[in-house]
Amino acid sequence: MTRELTCIVCPKGCQLKVELENGAIKEITGYTCPRGKQYATDECTHPMRTVTSTVRATDGRVIPVKTSRTIPKERMFDLMKEINAAAVTLPAHIGDVVIADVLGTGADVVVTANIE
């Protein structure tokens, strides 16, 4: 089985092909740097994503947030429940931790804008 992917690690968007046999990776082609090969490997074994979203501030304003590192793609639904239940006390600054070690993933949910 061949899986075709677009590498999302950088804007170049290399087209990757992954040859799979019984779920195991036999060959990866199309990447032009090691990060692309790693992306294809991760995508076919344990896909990861950085998540961007928003959290309500205590005054009702919407505060942009993101995960500080990638988390397993299959945890995104649970992550959004955590984010939707969170609230930020103002002022908020870039890098403020809203949820530490969210879902035990090692990633923090952090603020991505300065809001006074």
Binding residues for ligand SF4, rule: CB under 6 A, are 7, 9-10, 12-14, 31-33, 35-36
Query: Residue 53 belongs to what H/E stretch?
Result: strand 52-57
Q: Please enumerate in sequence order all residues whose Cβ is within 8 A of that of 43, keeping only pairs 6 or more positions apart, or say none.
A: 5, 18
Reference 14, options 2, 4, 1; nearest CA is: 4
Q: How far is the CB of 2 from ligand SF4 (least distance, A)?
A: 17
- Cβ proximity to ligand SF4: between 12 and 61 the closer is 12
Q: Which residue number is nearest to ligand SF4 in terms of Cβ? A: 36
- Cβ proximity to ligand SF4: between 10 and 97 the closer is 10
